[in-house]
Amino acid sequence: MTDGRIELHVTRYRPDKDTEPGRQEYEVPLREDWTVLDGLNYLKDEVDTTLAFRWSCRMGICGSCGMNVNGEPKLTCATFLSDYAPGPIRVEPLANFPVVRDLVVDLTDFMEKLPTVKPWIIREDDVTEIDGEYLQTPEELDAYKQFSMCINCMLCYAACPVYGLDPDFVGPAAIALAERYDLDSRDHGARERLDVLIEHEGVYGCTFVGECTRVCPKHVDPAGAIQRYKLKAAQQSVKAFLLPALPKGLRQRMDQ
């Protein structure tokens, strides 16, 4: 491919100067192996040092560089300029999040929501030091491995119309991570997470649009996790309504 140029139309928002975001047009070299992130770094180094954006690993594992490229949530380090030739390419801050400055968004909402689903191993035996390791077979690992691949890049939140319309919705990644721990054989915390996710802003706010799964760069399939969680919660609800006064031991055995 010949080295030409390609236009990037980048959202600019300077809170001290602007009342709302605008757009600035730039040109970057169209190198075959350059990603949108490379283009942004070229701009910041050579053209406009005031441009603000997040990035880190540049190899699709840290989850920092999520932005909307031509309307689609993407990791800019994994999105090649040449795929959009001849351009122009619209680069906007990640959708459904408030804009702090230029391409930087405020992720506080997710940061506050994530701990509410308790994404850690919860044990009933209150043990803080164990003799050796917790053992897990490959099959037990397989049960939750896919959902553990989440890099918290938030592309799923940017793609989810429900989250866009109702910011109270817990959202795809948080639910997928709850499911990851529910399915972990070392964990006993399913009941606690269910109490959070059975609320309306939990799993039942999801209408299975499926966009979250489509845009996920790590193939986590949050939509699948959410539907499975809905079924699990419904099964527990049926039991709770039909058999309310069971002794705890029997109920625990039924939960497994």
**CB of 32 or CB of 166, closer to other proteins:** 166
Is residue 95 a contact point for other proteins (CB under 8 A)? yes
Residues 200 and 235: beta-carbon distance below 8 Å: no
Is residue 12 a contact point for other proteins (CB under 8 A)? no
Closest distance of CB 84 from other proteins, Å = 17
Q: How far apart, in Å, do the first and last CA atoms of the chain sit?
A: 57
CA-wise closest residue to 24 among 62, 52, 66, 60: 52
Among the listed residues 52, 110, 164, 186, the single contact to other proteins using CB under 8 A: 164
Is residue 132 a contact point for other proteins (CB under 8 A)? no
Is residue 241 a contact point for other proteins (CB under 8 A)? yes
Among the listed residues 5, 56, 200, 254, the single contact to other proteins using CB under 8 A: 200
Is residue 178 a contact point for other proteins (CB under 8 A)? no
Among the listed residues 237, 250, 252, 254, the single contact to other proteins using CB under 8 A: 237
Backbone angles phi, psi at 150, to 5 degrees: -60, 130
CA-wise closest residue to 225 among 164, 165, 170: 170
β-sheet bridge partners, residue 25: 9
3-state secondary structure of 75: strand
Residues 225 and 179: beta-carbon distance below 8 Å: yes
Q: Is the peptide bond before 138 cis (omega within 30 degrees of 0)?
A: no
Q: Give burial (CB, 10 Å; 0-12/13-18/19+) of 42.
A: middle
Among the listed residues 83, 124, 168, 195, the single contact to other proteins using CB under 8 A: 195
Stretch that binds other proteins, among 29-37, 58-66, 116-124, 200-208 (CB under 8 A): 200-208
List residues near other proteins by CB under 8 A.
13, 15-16, 20-21, 71, 95-96, 98-100, 106, 139, 161-162, 164-166, 191, 194-195, 198-200, 204, 207-211, 213-214, 221, 223-224, 227-228, 230-231, 233-234, 236-238, 240-241
